[in-house]
Chains A and B, each alone.
Chain A
Amino acid sequence: MHDFSEAFTAAFRLLVGLDPDLLEIVGLSLRMTFSAALIAALLGLPAGAALALLRFPGRHALIVLVNALMGLPPVVLGLVLYLLLSRAGPLGVLGLLFTPTAMIIAQTCLILPIITALTRQVIEDLSREYDEQLRSLGAGVVRSIGTLLWDGRSSLVTGILAGFGRAAGEVGSIMIVGGNIDHFTRTMTTAMVLETSRGNFALSLGLGAVLMALALGVNAAAALLKETAQRAQG
């Protein structure tokens, strides 16, 4: 078991010494996850709000589908994207396979349903309270969507952070479409898989610590934000 304590010490040394390899990997991971969360929020917030407010045929089926996609297995998504993006695939000409862009696409697809579904729920609940007042004031659908998104902001931020957390810890899909290429598409999670299988626990543990800190930080930020907002706005 002396491997174990040795690995911890080495991991600690990497973290404190701001090891360049470790920083590079963390940097790429953060960039990728932020991009994915941002894109998914830009698409998912209006889509979720529209799903909550608009009435059209197939709405219920769509809601069920979005909810189901929240549990989409990442490897399945990775496989589908791999086939789409590979040289022979329909999107092969874009040359995106094994690039950070492909990984951002994968993560966006993964968390878009989460943000959309949570937004739909939040906006639908809020709309029950606001609907008659907004209609009385003459607000159309577009204006209502904007108003409800703004008024639901504290709950919605929580949803976006949940998506961010999911993306940060995800490995299956980005391993497949990113390829875990050193100095190019190697992220915290894919590096951990590789280094663990190689028996290089120091880097794995170091990255694991960063991931845990990130998850904790994100959740703490979410809780704090929600509480401050509620105290300020009631």
Chain B
Amino acid sequence: MRADLPILPLVLEDVVYEARGARLIDRLNFAIEAGPRTIILGPNGAGKSLTLRLCHGLIQPSSGRVEWRGPGARGARRRQAMVFQRPVMLRRSAAANIDYALSLAGLERRTRARRVEEALERTGLSLLARRPARVLSGGEQQRLALARAWALGPDVVFLDEPTASLDPAATRAVEDIVNAFHNSGAKIVMTTQDLGQARRLADEVIFLHRGRMLERESAERFFSAPASPEARAFVRGELLW
């Protein structure tokens, strides 16, 4: 699937998002390029989740533009996947949840079966394939959400605080899968407010605060010498709001 023309870069130009008169996202300008794992970092209410939804096209900006500018941009819609903070599982088996996503993507039944199996194996869920998805634990459900995304073979994966409510072991499993995605050539765009996680995963950091982008740096520079006072405070682990 990734042999197609690239859909990246994704460019945000003067993106503003307002709801009920409040400006929640204020003039975002950045481009997301293929390659490095991009971590969107910031405290609660910084607009991380909204930014991700704007990128994925789930919400439309009040003004400004969100555009895929790669030569394969026409097919962008089907070549991205999103993993939500709280995974939404359909009331059917784990395997059927993945199969459902693949059938929406227009895949043949035979190809689907093979991909479902592959994705379950990749995420260590093969033994749970026939279980109803909703009775799985939180960590297993999140891995299933990742398996569902994996099966789609996306060019870009958006992850919205995928480990926010998970214990360390489950968090570790999710991070391993995120890295497997990265190693397979998929672009990772992930939000987190967990500093440790950002240090473990980030190649580059977009730091948001109150709906604005304060920094866009390589992870190395961001963590060693953050430029803005807000980022400095955040990196030191001080409470920021």
**Residue positions of A touching B, CB distance < 8 A:** 129-130, 132-133, 135-139, 143, 147, 150-151, 153, 232-234
B58 near A132 with CB under 8 A, answer yes
Q: Does B134 contact A (CB under 8 A)?
A: yes
Taking the closest CB of chain A, its distance from the CB of B221, in whole angstroms, is 32
Task: Please tell me which one of the listed residues B84, B92, B101, B133 contacts residue A132 in the complex, with CB atoms under 8 A apart.
Answer: B84
Q: Does B240 contact A (CB under 8 A)?
A: no
Q: A137-B100, A233-B134 are in contact. List 17 more A-B contacts (CB 8 A).
A: A132-B84, A132-B88, A136-B56, A136-B81, A136-B82, A137-B101, A137-B104, A137-B105, A138-B78, A138-B105, A143-B104, A147-B90, A233-B91, A233-B92, A233-B132, A234-B91, A234-B133
Contacts of A147 in B (CB 8 A): 90, 100
Q: Does B164 contact A (CB under 8 A)?
A: no
A139 to B88, CA, bound (A): 14
Contacts of B84 in A (CB 8 A): 132-133, 136
Task: Please tell me which one of the listed residues A130, A137, A151, A234 contacts residue B135 in the complex, with CB atoms under 8 A apart.
Answer: A234
B132 near A234 with CB under 8 A, answer yes
A135 near B77 with CB under 8 A, answer no
By beta carbon, the residue of chain B nearest A150 is B91
Task: Please tell me which one of the listed residues A130, A136, A153, A234 contacts residue B58 in the complex, with CB atoms under 8 A apart.
Answer: A136
By beta carbon, the residue of chain A nearest B56 is A136
A9 to B154, CA, bound (A): 74
By beta carbon, the residue of chain B nearest A234 is B134
- Known contacts A233-B134, A234-B134; A135 and B88 CB within 8 A of each other: no
- Known contacts A133-B88, A147-B90, A151-B90; A138 and B77 CB within 8 A of each other: yes
